[in-house]
Amino acid sequence: MPTRKGTRMSLKIVISQTKSAITPAMTSTRHENAPRDPHADRHRFLDHGIGVRLLDPSHALTVSTRCRRSTGRGMDRIGTRCRAPSVAFPPWSGRHSPPPRPAGWPWPRRGSAGPDRKRSRRARCRPARHVSACCRSTPSTSSSGATTSPLYARLGAYDKAALDRLTLTQRSPWIEYWAHEAAFVPRDDLRLFRWRMDAYRERDATRPNRVAGVERTARVRGELLALLAAQGPMPASAVEHESNVRRGPWWGWSDVKHGLEQLFRWGDVVSAGRAGFERVYALPDQVLPAGYFATAPDRQDAVRELVRRSARAVGIGTRADLADHHRLRADDTAAAIADLEDAGELVPVSVAGWKDRAWMHVDARVPRRVDADAVLSPFDPVVWFRPRAERVFGFHYRIEIYTPAPKRVFGYYVLPVLQDEALVGRVDLKSDRQRGVLHVRTAWHEPGSVVDVDRLAALLRRTAAWQGLGDVEVTDRGTAAADLAGALGVRPRRDG
């Protein structure tokens, strides 16, 4: 039973052997311990972010780029702060022998009823008041791309053009910054990262590995500020300058690009959307209200607010979980946790099988059932913090895109398969637009789990249709490949 000591509480998580595992960052959930809202499932994708990345500082944050709603304002409390979630430990087998996964995971409750089914798809893409995305723009032909998969996993087929208008234009309600990785946050929340801009400026001016680069671009930066003031927002490629010459392939940036990125980190310029893959840069007063940063909170207050939102997003998390959500320092996060615990907003809990202490947000609740069906991006908030994914799901996950082909275990761009409360398998997908097919290059059951191939086949057909592709084809590689091909009614291609 939970106990109170002054304004603090301690909570022991109860052990149950009857449920399977779930994380609060799950998609398409259904909770039966509350009145059924027929529209809520469609709205919950907004909680846990997207593929530039989607994030939630609860008024803001991370997927590799695009949308999500705050779990903050309008939330209901669970009636009593002393409600204990149950945690299940299903048996494990397989070569990794992963740790037991907590189940009955608490989920923040919202007061909003969610979008009306009769509203337009554009309206259903609009994440109410607070959205954020951790925008990792990963160029790849694999699947639907890092920037769109997390949102599709939560919403299903949506209007990508409408989403771009909401995130990628100069007047979009979200603006890009380093909130996790590159991320879109609500415009009003950019000021929460003013302290980070100042910290980046100090770091770049003092660290030996950065000083040379900052000194080299000093003249260029001054000219860039003057150019933006005279001509308005522009991408790096539009700058005519003798220093705008690449220093190598791929990320071999020119001094112009380095200078713009330095100014962007420091808040001397801000994002004015994107032109294709390129970030567009602008002076703050060209995009934001006059004096916008004058109202920015100090570092301590801003970090406390970001940790508060992280806790709302994850439900239960360790200090590392709460810190990773906005890539905060461990000492800053610990101080914020102590303040929030004293205020009664975070409840210390023990989770069986976890070595580190954990905290539960006071507004979190326990779902009795979760229905989910998704293929997740590597940058989806469910799995982007790998230690948490392994701790919660027993799911060891690494991207093999940069691994030499002979050393790959599961495939080039393998994606976790989420079914209900568990990560049950992996698939390596490629959108082959020349041939008009969605190619399943590998398909695997997780050790100790079995993919429901009929459900996965239906999901892949919907995904192919949304991407404008025709057939789904399967290569005969992986423990689930033959069964998946059978469920799709196709003959598997021979590997190699």
Alpha carbon 411 to chain centroid distance?
A: 22
| Among candidate residues 386, 381, 453, the one with its CA nearest the CA of residue 98 | 386
pLDDT digits (tens, 9 = 90+) for 155-214: 889 888 888 888 888 889 999 999 988 888 999 999 999 999 999 999 999 998 889 889
User: Which 3-state string (H, E, C) describes the chain?
Assistant: CCEEECCEEEEECEEECCCCECCCCCCCCCCCCCCCCCCHHHHHHHHCCCEEEEECCCCCEEEECCCCCCCCCCECCCCCCCCCCEEECCCCCCCCCCCCCCECCCEECECCCCCCCCCCHHHHHCCCCCCCEECCCCCCCCCCCCCCHHHHHHHCCCCHHHHHHHHCCCCCCEEEEECCCEEEEEHHHHHHHHHHHHHHHHHHHHCHHHHHHHHHCHHHHHHHHHHHHHHCCEEHHHCCCCCCCCCCCCCCCCHHHHHHHHHHHHCCCEEEEEECCEEEEECHHHHCCCCHHHHCCCHHHHHHHHHHHHHHHHCEEEHHHHHHCCCCCHHHHHHHHHHHHHCCCEEEEECCCCCCCEEEECCEECCCCCCCEEECCCCCCCCCCHHHHHHHHCCCCCCCCCCCHHHCCCCCCEEEEEECCEEEEEEEEEEECCCCEEEEEEEEECCCCCCCHHHHHHHHHHHHHHCCCCEEEEECCCCCHHHHHHHHCCCCECCC
Instruction: Give phi and psi for 189, each to the nearest 5.
Output: -95, -5
Q: So what's the pLDDT on residue 183?
A: 87
Q: So what's the pLDDT on residue 338?
A: 98
Q: So what's the pLDDT on residue 420?
A: 93
Q: So what's the pLDDT on residue 229?
A: 96
Q: Hey, which residues does 110 pair with through a beta bridge? A: 75
Q: So what's the pLDDT on residue 91?
A: 27
Q: Are 63 and 69 in contact (CB under 8 A)?
A: no
Low-confidence ranges of the chain (pLDDT < 70): 1-147, 240-252, 496
Hey, what are 234's tokens? 């522009």
